[in-house]
Structure 1
Amino acid sequence: MKPTLSSSVTEQCRAALLGLAVGDALGVPVEFQSRAARRQDPVVHMRAYGTHNQPAGTWSDDASLTFCLAEAIADGFTLPKLARNCCRWYEDNFWTPHGRVFDIGITTREALQRLQAKPGLVRAGGTDEYSNGNGALMRILPLAFYQTNAPLQERFQLIFDVAAVTHGHIRSAVACFLYLEIARHLRAGLTPAEAYAQLCQEGPAQLRALNIPAKEADHFERILSGRLPDVNVLAINSGGYVMHTLEAALWCLLRYETYAETVLAAVNLGDDTDTTGAVTGGLAGLYYGEAAIPAEWLQVLARRADIEGLAYRMVAATISVDAPPA
């Protein structure tokens, strides 16, 4: 049975941000633990402590930097505002769950250190092929609610610029673009299977229109082939590489039928559990809605009221920006 799509943009945004934060928090206690460990001891509820010694409901850098982007949008988006918010998180614990940064990826940390060292710099992300961790993908979801009616090239340029604050390689930008295309289709009322079919139908031509080099587009062949849901779990990776995270998130979204099943499947893939949980949870929250997120998970979620308030402020700031042309 198809769930009822959220009835307003604010409800969609709340569900997406809460879904992302809950998925992140489910993964935090078991981050870096193997898939074999998860088979022996699967995550089935919100745990406490573990890898980072944090209380139950604690989200990590994934949600923090997502909220930094949402905050920049709520404040009248500019790229320098986003860069400043990310630095405020790293330096001053802005948008942390409990007033302390306890997790950060290497590529993200290096980019933020460059931002600190060079005032005025905004696109600080590494541009080499080895700078394609999942640190841009994990925070990109708020753009699903910003400038959604812009032409393809403008939307992609915005995505590239936002990703490049910490991750400047084109592959990370394309991964973010395809993720946001799925979100766009879900917002329009499609099921995950319908959204994926639409992505596979439109994606190759979109990448050509964006002049994405063929050698880069080839990295997305498995996703855009239409075969991803049929891939065996043993061929789904769950480490920190952006391609692995995107594939894992879409695979979970397409294979499971409730919010809880979807995010638990993502976390139980092991390894980079918080990011896989967050990236998956954002889409699952958007589609299934806030009411589908288990109440006991939401009850312990750090700063839930602040997240809900952020969703409201972000949507309020985008109403005029996203109004369709007259």
Structure 2
Amino acid sequence: MALEPTTPLTPRQSKVVGALLGLHAGDSLGASVEFKCHTQIHTQYPNGLRDIIGGGLLSWPVGHATDDTDMTRAVLLAYRELHDNPLQDVAILAGKHFLNWYRGDWPGRKPGSRPRDVGLATRAGLHKFSKTLDPEKAGAGEGKAGNGSLMRCLATGLFQSDPDKLVKESMRISMITHDDERCTISCAVYNHIVAALIRDTSPESAVDAGEILAERLENKKDGDVWKAVRLGRKLSIARMARDGPDLGEMKGACSGFVLETLALAIAAVLDKRSLEDVLVDVVRIGNDTDTNGAVAGGLLGARDGVDGVPERWKAKLQFGDEFMRIGVELTPE
């Protein structure tokens, strides 16, 4: 797979494409050890898994997208359609692409086949959305606070330049499957940070902006999402990769709770090491390794640009060429 653009990328294009490929790479790297705990990964890969090798519990082909990247692609396709017709509702467009994915109208799948991995909240939300086609009348309900909408929300941060629309679209796309406020606000905060990073804002200032937005959306200074951002500032990815998740900080052991995945991503983007070293360590922490890797990878790619993603990883990504092409197409020079 050749991922070389025909013309050099602008700095902004590099960050946009880097974010998309960083998410895909984190997902594909983590898929090989998904559901394994820190101890199991440490035993099998004492220095961390450093290559995209496929396999895992669901026997993934090398570099294949899991639901994280597939659903990110669905939102990306919605923004490409919005670019051609700005009067459309991007949340409804995204939801329709989610349904295509769920029903088997998707690259690399037998027509009509179900995805290998679908979260319970995602399944419930898509069932409702298929009947209403209304993002605000779908969702799995309050109390369902998994990371299934945070994992796919990246394109809004990359391609919606209006701050108010960014918040609204992030939250409405989340509502299709995850309408708990911890999920909808986490998506808005994450995308606010992404938008700052691709403007070449420093990671520290981008996280500051996300924290301020969390306080505004939760209408208090100690809300759950605000606390997750603050926690991310204190976490050490390297320490958790070495010792495992601190259950005092991460009561869910990094196994799919939206606030923990957001906190890990914040810690990752503030880690001054290379994208590769940080993502390898995020995966070493264990449990929901593909989604934690994907969400962190999106921020790291927006921070470091396309050159931060190792060439040996980029060469294996199922949607690598498509993500680069659409990312460049939708990003003003």
**TM-score normalised over the length of structure 1:** 0.84
Question: For 1:248, which of 254, 264, 279 is the aligned residue?
Answer: 264
- 1:222-233 equivalences under 5 Å are 222-224=228-230, 227-229=233-235, 233=240
How far the C-alpha of 1:120 sits from its partner, in A, is 3.0
Find the counterpart in structure 2 of residue 282 from structure 1: 298
Find the counterpart in structure 2 of residue 127 from structure 1: 141
Contact persistence 1:127–1:168 (CA under 8 A): yes
Aligned partner of residue 221 in structure 1, secondary structure: helix
Residue 286 of structure 2 corresponds to residue 270 of structure 1: yes
CA separation of 1:128/1:13 partners in 2, compared to 1, >3 Å: closer, same or farther? same
Whole-Å Cα distance in 2 between the matches of residues 148 and 194 of structure 1?
A: 18
Whole-Å Cα distance in 1 between the matches of residues 324 and 184 of structure 2?
A: 27
Whole-Å Cα distance in 1 between the matches of residues 265 and 303 of structure 2?
A: 13
How far the C-alpha of 1:190 sits from its partner, in A, is 2.6
Q: Give the AA of the match of 1:169.
A: D
Worse-matched range after superposition: 154-163 or 62-71 = 154-163
Give per-residue Cα distances to partners, 1:50-87, cap 9 Å, x unaligned: 22112211121101111101101100152221111100
Question: For 2:33, which of 30, 34, 37 is the aligned residue?
Answer: 30
Residue 115 of structure 2 corresponds to residue 86 of structure 1: no
Find the counterpart in structure 1 of residue 12 from structure 2: 9
CA separation of 1:97/1:255 partners in 2, compared to 1, >3 Å: closer, same or farther? farther
Whole-Å Cα distance in 1 between the matches of residues 60 and 214 of structure 2?
A: 41
Contact persistence 2:146–2:257 (CA under 8 A): yes
CA separation of 1:115/1:287 partners in 2, compared to 1, >3 Å: closer, same or farther? same
Whole-Å Cα distance in 2 between the matches of residues 197 and 51 of structure 1?
A: 38
Whole-Å Cα distance in 1 between the matches of residues 21 and 265 of structure 2?
A: 16
Find the counterpart in structure 2 of residue 295 from structure 1: 311
Contact persistence 2:141–2:179 (CA under 8 A): yes
Whole-Å Cα distance in 1 between the matches of residues 278 and 109 of structure 2?
A: 24
Whole-Å Cα distance in 2 between the matches of residues 228 and 173 of structure 1?
A: 23
Find the counterpart in structure 1 of residue 4 from structure 2: none
Whole-Å Cα distance in 1 between the matches of residues 132 and 68 of structure 2?
A: 24
Contact persistence 1:83–1:115 (CA under 8 A): yes
Whole-Å Cα distance in 2 between the matches of residues 208 and 301 of structure 1?
A: 37
Whole-Å Cα distance in 1 between the matches of residues 188 and 120 of structure 2?
A: 23
Residue 128 of structure 2 corresponds to residue 114 of structure 1: yes
Give per-residue Cα distances to partners, 1:24-48, cap 9 Å, x unaligned: 0001111111111122223121122
CA separation of 1:292/1:122 partners in 2, compared to 1, >3 Å: closer, same or farther? same
Contact persistence 1:70–1:142 (CA under 8 A): yes
How far the C-alpha of 1:181 sits from its partner, in A, is 2.2
Find the counterpart in structure 2 of residue 142 from structure 1: 155
Worse-matched range after superposition: 11-20 or 226-235 = 226-235
Give per-residue Cα distances to partners, 1:217-237, cap 9 Å, x unaligned: 145325237842469633344
Question: For 1:66, which of 56, 68, 72 is the aligned residue?
Answer: 72
Worse-matched range after superposition: 59-68 or 248-257 = 248-257
Residue 185 of structure 2 corresponds to residue 174 of structure 1: yes
Q: Give the AA of the match of 1:86.
A: F
Name the % identity.
24
Whole-Å Cα distance in 1 between the matches of residues 56 and 231 of structure 2?
A: 38
Aligned partner of residue 315 in structure 2, secondary structure: helix
Aligned partner of residue 223 in structure 2, secondary structure: helix
Contact persistence 1:250–1:280 (CA under 8 A): yes
Question: For 2:61, which of 55, 58, 62 is the aligned residue?
Answer: 55
Aligned partner of residue 126 in structure 1, secondary structure: coil
CA separation of 1:257/1:194 partners in 2, compared to 1, >3 Å: closer, same or farther? farther
Give per-residue Cα distances to partners, 1:159-201, cap 9 Å, x unaligned: 211110111111111111221222122122233234334444x
Q: Give the AA of the match of 2:297.
A: G
Extract unaligned runs of 5+ from structure 1: 1-5, 320-326
Whole-Å Cα distance in 2 between the matches of residues 219 and 97 of structure 1?
A: 36
Q: Give the AA of the match of 2:56.
A: G
CA separation of 1:93/1:266 partners in 2, compared to 1, >3 Å: closer, same or farther? farther
Residue 116 of structure 2 corresponds to residue 102 of structure 1: yes
Whole-Å Cα distance in 1 between the matches of residues 313 and 181 of structure 2?
A: 36
CA separation of 1:222/1:15 partners in 2, compared to 1, >3 Å: closer, same or farther? closer
Q: Give the AA of the match of 1:21.
A: H
Q: How many residues align?
A: 303
Contact persistence 1:67–1:95 (CA under 8 A): no
How far the C-alpha of 1:102 sits from its partner, in A, is 1.4
